[in-house]
Amino acid sequence: MFDKLKPDFTFGSYIEVTPEFLAEQGIKALLIDIDNTLAPYEQAEPDEKLFAWFSSLEENGIKAALISNNKTERVELFNKDLKLPAYPDAHKPCKKTLLIALGELGMDTKHTAVMGDQLFTDAYGGKHIGMRAIIVPPIKDKKTLFFRFKRALEKPIMKSYYREKNKNCEK
């Protein structure tokens, strides 16, 4: 179970996930979370940096879809000018919407990664159906009790991930 929560890759921000890196890893499509991965909750529309990042993916033949547990209005407004395949109300980590998105992109799990800020929804959602997971730290955490509780649970898992990562570096 813990293995399925561990990210395959972590980055400081979505912007560090480059087409070159994705190509090296054989990742041809990304299913991307919105809230706290690409923008904070209160940011309704993408900024210039985000448009540039999505263009660089497109120019390099990387497919992208937005997959969010947030509601339709939020996702539609955010996607108004991006015009990506978008899946609101996705109920991650449930696999149903992830698999629909995968099918509509014409991709398989082996060449697709989920990208998000949460281990229990984004990482687990992708990993338990065989995709890889790219995790970035949340842009701005919601300081509710529930989120603090989830973060506390995630801490030991992230610790063990970094411990293993360091072990590999020592080899």
By the criterion CB under 5 A, which residues form the site for Mg ion?
A: 33, 35-36, 117
Decide whether 102 or 119 has the Cβ nearer to Mg ion. Answer: 119
- The span from the CA of 39 to the CA of 48, in Å, is 12
Least distance in angstroms from the C-beta of 141 to Mg ion: 10
Least distance in angstroms from the C-beta of 36 to Mg ion: 4
Least distance in angstroms from the C-beta of 45 to Mg ion: 17
Decide whether 33 or 161 has the Cβ nearer to Mg ion. Answer: 33
Decide whether 35 or 67 has the Cβ nearer to Mg ion. Answer: 35
